[in-house]
Chain A
Amino acid sequence: GAGVSQSPSNKVTEKGKDVELRCDPISGHTALYWYRQSLGQGLEFLIYFQGNSAPDKSGLPSDRFSAERTGGSVSTLTIQRTQQEDSAVYLCASSSRLAGGEQFFGPGTRLTVL
């Protein structure tokens, strides 16, 4: 498909385990973003990558959270030593100046920490 894809769609894990969430942006989009949507909360920014620039990590809630973007395309969000408060939907978005600059979102990964 032509949209942003994320995997897995659902992830259930035990407290203390590490998890990896994957995002495949729209082909050719140079910017990639991660957001978190907790129950009853709006969407909050976590991190974004733009080209070869240093990522903006200002939204990461703790040092247990990290993200990488390999080859300017696929990104992985890693949460170490998960806590119950990490339970949320993690959304990825991508954008391109050539496509108007606005962000297109994937369907999200629903993370449940038991």
Chain B
Amino acid sequence: GQQLNQSPQSMFIQEGEDVSMNCTSSSIFNTWLWYKQDPGEGPVLLIALYKAGELTSNGRLTAQFGITRKDSFLNISASIPSDVGIYFCARREGTSYGKLTFGQGTILTVHP
């Protein structure tokens, strides 16, 4: 099946630092999604991107849909301890009700 390559696999940073993670795909698609998962919980949607080149912010989070429609990045500015968790990129197949394919996840650790 079509794969999403997410990097880095893990990050250890100091509180206050900025973070960047990205995803690439071997194929073009129409929707990029970024989710965060806390321990023992299901993923929570952070940002959804629908158009090539789109840049969207949600508080300290910023994500962009690459021009080639094959990649996306997520930036977190001024990290805080509650940013700890696993971040997943995902793509949705086709229609509004399409299934999601997820990247491998980026484990973020923030040291106070």
B44 and A105: CB pair below 8 A? yes
A107 and B45: CB pair below 8 A? no
Interface string of A20-46 (1 = CB under 8 A from B): 000000000011010100000111110
Beta-carbon nearest neighbor of A51 in chain B: B97
Beta-carbon nearest neighbor of B101 in chain A: A45
Partner of A105, one of B43, B48, B99: B43
**How many angstroms from the CA of A43 to the CA of B102 in the assembled complex?**
6
Residues of A near B99 (CB, < 8 A) are: 33, 45, 48, 56, 58-59
Residues of A near B103 (CB, < 8 A) are: 42
**A interface residues, tally (CB under 8 Å):** 28
Given contacts A43-B88, A107-B40, A107-B42, contact A50 B105 (CB under 8 A): no
A103 and B105: CB pair below 8 A? no
Beta-carbon nearest neighbor of A31 in chain B: B97
Q: Which of chain A's residues 93-108 have a Cβ closer than 8 Å to chain B?
A: 93, 95, 97, 100-108
**How many angstroms from the CA of A45 to the CA of B101 in the assembled complex?**
7
Residues of A near B48 (CB, < 8 A) are: 100, 102
Residues of B near A95 (CB, < 8 A) are: 96-97
Residues of A near B102 (CB, < 8 A) are: 42-44
Partner of B96, one of A44, A97, A105: A97
Instruction: List the interface of chain B (C-beta within 8 A of A).
Output: 33, 35, 40-45, 48, 88, 96-97, 99-105
Sample of 23 A–B contacts (CB below 8 Å): A31-B97, A33-B99, A41-B104, A42-B88, A42-B102, A42-B103, A42-B105, A43-B88, A44-B102, A48-B97, A58-B99, A59-B99, A95-B96, A97-B96, A100-B48, A102-B33, A103-B45, A104-B45, A105-B35, A105-B43, A106-B42, A108-B40, A108-B42
